[in-house]
Structure 1
Amino acid sequence: MENNAAILKTAIVKSLKELLLKDNAHVSLADAVKDLPPKLRGVVPESLPYSIWQLVEHIRIAQKDILEFSRDPEYQSPRWPEGYWPAEPAPKNGEAWDSSLAQIKTDLKAFILLLEAPDAALFTPFAHGSGQHLFREAVLIADHTSYHTGEIVAIRRLLGAWK
């Protein structure tokens, strides 16, 4: 029975990693921002509340929040909503843009290490939460990122900057 549980856990972690790392049925975040002209990063299209930069930063902040919540019982989340959205529509410079995208990758790798840990209890609720567990948080990262990635593609279409 114990061997079956290990096999099942391995299969679940493999599936979660594919969900988090591959584009599957939709475009990846990396592809959604690839070759985006720097001048369009901070454009807020008419009737929309945010720019592509604000979406990228929101993805970074929310994913970091999920990561820290999942690994640190003492972690305190930012205030909603202001703590999850950058005020400025454009990055300060290209380095800020690159840094945000790099941090998203780094934090995702760190989250995957939580999933891969030998003692990871995928479905055991966190003692410090209200029922959240590692499996749920992995799906939340994938769902949240794909939702906002779709918005990035839509904004690029509105700006005439999508293939």
Structure 2
Amino acid sequence: MSDTAVIKALKELLNGGHAHATFEDAVKDVPAGLRGEVPENMPYSIWQLVEHIRITQWDILEFSRNPNHQSPSWPDEYWPKERAPKDAQSWKESIAQINRERKEFIKLLEAPGADLYTPFAHGTGQNLLREAMLIADHTSYHTGEIVVLRRLLGNWG
């Protein structure tokens, strides 16, 4: 498989939608009153999941393009304490950042001479291919959780 084919497959994986709902589908039209609801026996709200996806993807993007990046402290700085966004603008901004930074990561994959396989000079053996798969896997996992929360809250098709 050529690098072009691998990059095409990674872009499809990052953008999602082949075998499951996309992130955009999962967060579309979530009523403001449900964004901070935590269903019984669940540990987090939809907002906390959205923010966790945003923080984690940002960290992976920055790690991939900046050897001096310092990751947040795990797990405290990867999970917001607030159950709900402070306002509708915070909700919109978080989703917009996720979408914007996904596109920025894709630009790393598409950059002339991008090396998918060689480990970064920093880190513990990570490479661009691994980080792309990590973003896709992580986002997909938590997108599924958003769908489950919406079902539990009576707000999914």
In the superposition, the TM-score normalised over structure 1's length comes to 0.95
Alignment of 1:125-136 (within 5 A): 125-136=119-130
Moved over 6 A (4+): none
What is the rounded CA distance, in whole Å, between the counterparts of 1:64 and 1:123 in structure 2?
21
Name the structure 1 match of 2:48.
Answer: 54
- Unpaired segments of 5 or more residues in structure 1? 1-6
Asked if 1:100 corresponds to 2:94, the answer is: yes
> By how many angstroms is 1:36 displaced?
1.0
Give deviations 1:3-42, integer Å, cap 9, x for gaps: xxxx711111011001111311000011011111110000
What is the rounded CA distance, in whole Å, between the counterparts of 1:132 and 1:97 in structure 2?
31
Give deviations 1:51-71, integer Å, cap 9, x for gaps: 000000000000000000000
What is the RMSD computed on CA atoms of the aligned residues? Answer: 0.8
Alignment of 1:22-33 (within 5 A): 22-33=16-27
What is the rounded CA distance, in whole Å, between the counterparts of 2:45 and 2:15 in structure 1?
24
Name the structure 1 match of 2:68.
Answer: 74
- Between structure 1 and structure 2, the one with the greater Rg is 1
Alignment of 1:1-163 (within 5 A): 8-163=2-157
What is the rounded CA distance, in whole Å, between the counterparts of 1:12 and 1:28 in structure 2?
20
Percent identity (aligned): 66
8 Å Cα contact 2:116/2:129 also seen in 1? yes
Q: Which has the higher helix share?
A: 1
Q: Secondary structure of the equivalent of 1:146?
A: helix
> By how many angstroms is 1:119 displaced?
1.7
Residue type of the alignment partner of 2:17: D
What is the rounded CA distance, in whole Å, between the counterparts of 2:10 and 2:21 in structure 1?
17
Residue type of the alignment partner of 1:65: D
Give the number of equivalent residue pairs: 157
What is the rounded CA distance, in whole Å, between the counterparts of 1:35 and 1:121 in structure 2?
38
In the superposition, the TM-score normalised over structure 2's length comes to 0.98
Give deviations 1:61-91, integer Å, cap 9, x for gaps: 0000000000000000000001101110000
Q: Secondary structure of the equivalent of 1:84?
A: coil
